[in-house]
Amino acid sequence: MSERPYHHGDLRAVLLAGAERTLADRGPAAISLRELARDAGVSHAAPGRHFKDKGALLDALALSGFQRLKSALQETTVEGAGAGARILALARSYVDFTIANGALLDLMYTRKHDSDATDQLIAALDELLGVVLAPILQGQADGEIVQGDPKPIAYTVVSTLHGFAFLTADHSKEKFDGALPAVVHHLLHGLTPR
């Protein structure tokens, strides 16, 4: 029996991609460094050069997810539009990410809220909140969003989008796209009659 090779071109990326596939197909409990090494064609010890254990691999996968979500949200910039259009674009991007990566998003928030969450994961969530804050601050500057501390407003937006995304995760994009404008409208204008 021949020994598996130790080296691989970009083993870290291969392990993360394999872990993400396993996460989506079978959940976090099914992720195994040994199995990922076998699938990558390297020795069972090789992943240890990148991840000290499964927890470190899951943290890296969650961090990658936060970075990808942040990038997706940053790409939704709607120049010259009002607060409603900017937040609706942000909402569509968030829900799109959730529908495409539901298991990953669940892992991201689970790892972030773990008692031994890394500083990197906590910082990644703060950076994500910063992306959500941008249209809120612009809306406040334009007089379209109520003045005051923008963080509670951002938490309300993120909580609403997160909840809506998980409620619609098994539905089609067309179905959630039809409901999302009304969700954003209620988010911006409240529930009380005018």
Token pair 């409240």 is at which residue? 190
Task: Quote the domain boundaries for residue 116.
Answer: 62-189
Count of alpha carbons within 13 angstroms of residue 82, beta-carbon side = 7
d(CA 98, CA 106): 9
- Tell me how far apart the alpha carbons of residues 183 and 131 are, in angstroms, rounded to a whole number: 20
In a domain, 56, yes or no: no
3-state secondary structure of 32: coil
Looking at the structure of the chain, the number of domains it has is: 2
pTM for this structure? 0.85
Cα-based angle 23, 28, 29 (whole degrees, multiple of 5): 130
CATH code for the domain in which residue 182 is found: 1.10.357.10
The predicted structure's pLDDT at residue 3: 47
**pLDDT tens-digit profile of 111-169?**
888 878 889 988 998 899 899 999 999 999 999 999 999 999 999 998 898 888 877 76
Residue 82 belongs to a domain: yes
